[in-house]
Amino acid sequence: MNLPGRLILLGHPVSHSLSPRLQNAALAAARLPLRYEALDVAPDALDTILAELRAEGAAGNVTIPHKERVAMRCDALTPLAARVGAVNTFWVADARMTGDNTDVGGFSSAVTTLMSGAPADIVVGVIGAGGAAAAVLTAVESWTGCRALVYNRTRRRADAVCARFGSVARRIDDARLMARAQLVVNATSIGLHDDAFPLDPSLLDPDAAVLDLVYRAGETAWVRAARTRGHRALDGLTMLIEQAALAFERWFGRAPDRDVMWRAVR
């Protein structure tokens, strides 16, 4: 097995990320002689950094705000990454960068955990219209009988993502229509750095489940508020662990010790 020349997380900012902690724990458990590092890359420096990573034979992950731009810069995409239009996992071989998307699998795993089984025949409310929302919709279109309502502050972006996923997604302009959803997902970064809510919890159906793709120490304010109102609610930590484990498998051809990953972040 050829090890990557470097293993990194690309994002801006990245200081909050738990990815180095859990990936380094998995690397140590697997006795792989690598360190995973977070690299804060401003948007105007991304192309330069990607050229350096190609030369180094690197591999790694991508987070906000670079997922869609990295997808456009890759030499090849897996079918899943091409469908999402965003990359969160990449590797370089023979100076060619391949992009994949393990967010879809991570999200599906989190939903299965939250709802105690695979979803079917439900309406999914999606807040946001970026790369994370596209990953959510990619999962939704694979679920039996499911459809999505997409709510976003910028109508143009919502229209664009709904056009791509027209078989399952419809844009809504009135947040109150989220009351029709049995699962509501925050696919924005709202709540990452403060206690802002992506949606007023009082607008949710009383029986709706809530999944926040954002994670913070002690959970996000939105998850805590939803749970106080009686909703099943989960933050983004389960998705983080699973997408990281799937990325590890792409890089090294074997599964990491997920229990070690969980212990590293708890």
Are 135 and 110 spatial neighbours (Cβ–Cβ below 8 Å)?
Answer: no
With beta carbons less than 8 A apart as the criterion, state whether 183 and 119 touch: yes
Nearest CA to 99 out of 66, 73, 131, 128 is that of 73
Which DSSP state fits 163?
H
Catalytic entry in 6, 66, 67, 231: 67
Q: Is 61 exposed, middle or buried (0-12, 13-18, 19+ CB in 10 A)?
A: buried
Residues 6+ apart with CB under 8 A from 209: 114, 115, 182, 183, 184, 231, 232, 233, 234
- Using left for φ > 0, alpha for ψ between -120 and 50, and beta otherwise, residue 177 falls in alpha
> Using CB atoms within 10 A of its CB, is residue 218 exposed (0-12), middle (13-18) or buried (19+)?
exposed
Residue 152 catalytic?
no
Return the CA Rg of the chain.
Answer: 18
Hey, which residues are catalytic here?
67
